[in-house]
Structure 1
Amino acid sequence: MLRRKIAVSQSSKAGLPPGTLQYVGERDPEPTSVRVFVYGPDFAEEKNPECLEELLRAGENNIWINVSGLFNLDIINRIGKLLKLHPLTLEDLLNTEQRPKYEDFDDYIFLVLKIIRNDRMPGNFTESVIDKNTAATNYFSRELFQQDSRISSRQISIILSDGVVCSFEESGSDLLDSIIKRLFDRKSRIRKYGSDYLMYALTDCVVDRYFAVFESLGEYIEDLEGRIIEGSDDVEIEEIYTLKRNLLYIRKQIWPIREMLSGLVRNQPELVSEQTVVYLSDVSDHLHQLNDILESYREMSTGFYEIYLSTLSNRMNEVMKVLTIIATIFIPLTFIAGIYGMNFVYMPELVWEFGYPSAVILMLAIALVMLVYFRKKKWI
């Protein structure tokens, strides 16, 4: 059963003072859920969110707070007060139309990330169809960029403070399940390193999803290119425009994240260790690689339009050539038939016994000679 979402536009905040908590975006009717994880080098366990105040006061271990769904503003405000977040930070994480960015405050770092989703996909998100170890990617690659498909994004905000990481997901999904699984692995680096490494792991998880999308996108572009060159009837100009529009949308999501990570690596805040900066540099390199791939895809999509028009023109020329050949063959035949259709009394062939078969044979001979001539000229 499909859940109906309520759209809240940016214009609804007009006239409100800065820092006013108001959700902006498509509101999911699912309730807001909070999961709290406490971990250290030798342990990891999930705690009751009601004990969050006590855990923050203790401050002995690393804490990860994962908020799924931004529907409940009271919960968001409560966590913001516990972490001493700036009102503008809370305002930005509730605005799902916020541009990806990085902000360095005195006590914490604020990151806004975007990850691609396809509104035609079943379920909450695309994790179920972009698993590299399953065959579901084939479905994703064909359905992702259809004419009635709309690519959108889902926002993930990350707060990093001393020993605490808080992630805010726009809606519920299994996006971070792999991180939770690694957290409970005794050999995981997430346990051994500080909370800044967990921030890196969350960022890397988001970027890895782009690679899965790009793999499917590459397969789709190859398939589309083949269909265009072959002149397949199922290719329409709207499909190419949809591809170009979606590629532009993806670029708008990747470009700010690349700038954001580059700034984070370049500034190297106090909350991020040198060891974690090395890992973040690797994620930044991945985004540069994705951007290069995306630019090549955009150039190919531009070429698809020209190839499509050229293929259409060639098909039209083939049709016109066939019609021209047929008309050319029938011109002399029509001329002969017109002469003997004048019905003059003193036409000698009218009373000749072999007049009719001779005229037919003459017309067939002319048609055959013209076909042989056209064939010799390679017009047919």
Structure 2
Amino acid sequence: MRKISYKKGRKVQPTLLEYTGCHKSVKTELQLFVYDTDTITEFEKFHVDALESSFVPQKVNWLNVHGLNDTGIIQRIGDFLQVDAFMLSDILNTTKRTKLDEYHEVLFFNIKSLLPIEHSDNIQVEQISFLLKKDCLASFQEKRSDFFSHIRERLRMHSGIVREKGADYLLYLMLDAVMENFYITIENEEDKVEELINLSKSHSRPIVLEQIEKHRDNFNFLKRSIVPLRDSLYSIKTIKDDDVFNAIAHENYSFFDRLYQKAQELLEQIDYDMTTLDSASNFYFASQSNKMNEVMKTLTVVSVFFMPLTFIVGVYGMNFDHMPELHWKYGYFIILGVMFVLLLGMIIYFKKRKWF
């Protein structure tokens, strides 16, 4: 059993806002969409000072934040939305696992977005957090990305029902978009695993086994990321049963149930892929064993061929004076002929028995 080692790190206090991620050079920028069925207003370069004047009640207000380095801006957003400090701390602390919290009419949800790194076997990770209140959704990304570009276009073009729904439906669309990255990552891993299986059939180099173990670690990492997401989505059912949280409309809980089913499908697919990797490992070791058996078989056959010849040579290597064959004129050639015929007969016999 693998031992779990404890690595002591610097503690981040809940009341201390400090970004712990790796994108520390990204400038904090804000974007705001205010919309309803009939109108939409977009603020591309939005300033935090305009929060009170720009938010419109009875409309959906989507505040998207790129970059988490400016903790002052994050604090002001939290104060405006009346969010507790521990939620803001969880937004900035990217080491936390996926979680769901509901407190004081605010729903906090964070998720790990995973995507494959081009020309690499590693996976890039970005934490995305959401704060949902009635008629308001704030999303926090560590850096600029195109995860939600299609949602912005749907808002601008009034495509689908997104403009007819509230902020809870917008949260569903954004979670669904992030979960699509899991499918992309798993598909990329599956392509590489298929290449590994084909490679293991033609090569017995140790690098093949190393790559198999690397992708096994990737699948385990994917599983560890999806399991808490699935549990968080299941927790939304508890919020529905309590019937005390009004930011999610009752008819929209079915959308989050779809995400829960997707998470289940992802986990089932990962389990299947890990079974495939186990098969690749077994095939690699079986191939190694077969090759070793072939080598041992060849060496055994060669040894058996030379065993009677060695016996004959040993007999006539004894130093006795009265060995009649020693005085034969053609004894040397006769013994060589006998050895050749014996060897040829053994080869024919082995061939008929299909021993090599």
Q: Give the shorter-chain TM-score range.
A: 0.7 to 0.9
8 Å Cα contact 1:159-1:165 kept in structure 2: yes
What is the correspondence of 1:233-312 to structure 2 with a 5 Å cutoff?
Answer: 233-234=204-205, 236-268=208-240, 269-312=245-288
**Further displaced range: 240-249 or 284-293:** 240-249
**1:365: which partner in 2?**
341
8 Å Cα contact 2:204-2:287 kept in structure 1: no
Write out per-residue CA displacement over residues 119-143 of structure 1, whole angstroms, 9 at most, x where no aligned residue: xx25xxxxxxxxxxxxxxxx7xxx5
8 Å Cα contact 1:36-1:52 kept in structure 2: no
Q: Which one of the candidate residues 232, 237, 242 is aligned to 2:203?
A: 232
1:334 to 1:188, Cα distance in 2 relative to 1, 3 A = same
Tell me, yes or no, if structure 1 residue 38 matches structure 2 residue 10. no
Q: Which one of the candidate residues 184, 191, 194 is aligned to 2:156?
A: 184
Q: Which runs of 5+ in 2 are unaligned?
A: 1-6
How many residue pairs get aligned? The number is 342
Q: Distance in 1 between matches of 2:342 and 2:60?
A: 94
Residue 102 of structure 1: how far off its partner (Å): 0.9
Tell me, yes or no, if structure 1 residue 216 matches structure 2 residue 188. yes
What is the correspondence of 1:47-126 to structure 2 with a 5 Å cutoff?
Answer: 47=43, 48-50=45-47, 51-56=50-55, 58-118=56-116, 121-122=117-118
3-state SS of 1:184 partner? helix
1:10 to 1:348, Cα distance in 2 relative to 1, 3 A = closer
**Further displaced range: 87-96 or 72-81:** 72-81
Letter paired with 2:204: D
Residue 176 of structure 1: how far off its partner (Å): 1.9
What is the aligned-residue identity percentage?
30
Letter paired with 1:49: F
3-state SS of 2:113 partner? strand
Q: Distance in 2 between matches of 1:357 and 1:84?
A: 107
Larger Rg: 2
1:369 to 1:36, Cα distance in 2 relative to 1, 3 A = same
Tell me, yes or no, if structure 1 residue 200 matches structure 2 residue 172. yes
Letter paired with 1:334: T
Q: Distance in 2 between matches of 1:158 and 1:27?
A: 18
Letter paired with 1:163: D
Residue 324 of structure 1: how far off its partner (Å): 1.0
1:211 to 1:343, Cα distance in 2 relative to 1, 3 A = same
Q: Distance in 2 between matches of 1:359 and 1:32?
A: 94
Q: Distance in 2 between matches of 1:186 and 1:26?
A: 36
Residue 350 of structure 1: how far off its partner (Å): 6.0
Write out per-residue CA displacement over residues 223-281 of structure 1, whole angstroms, 9 at most, x where no aligned residue: 333444x2522453322322222222111110111111111134223111123212111
**1:147: which partner in 2?**
none
Q: Distance in 1 between matches of 2:331 and 2:113?
A: 82
Q: Distance in 2 between matches of 1:68 and 1:156?
A: 10
1:340 to 1:208, Cα distance in 2 relative to 1, 3 A = same
**1:132: which partner in 2?**
none
Normalised by the size of structure 2, how large is the TM-score?
A: 0.86
3-state SS of 2:158 partner? coil
**Further displaced range: 39-48 or 318-327:** 39-48
**2:4: which partner in 1?**
none
Write out per-residue CA displacement over residues 33-82 of structure 1, whole angstroms, 9 at most, x where no aligned residue: 222222222333421312333112x3353221111221221221122122
Q: Distance in 2 between matches of 1:221 and 1:236?
A: 11
8 Å Cα contact 1:204-1:283 kept in structure 2: yes
Normalised by the size of structure 1, how large is the TM-score?
A: 0.81
What's the RMSD between the two structures over aligned residues? 2.6
1:190 to 1:375, Cα distance in 2 relative to 1, 3 A = same
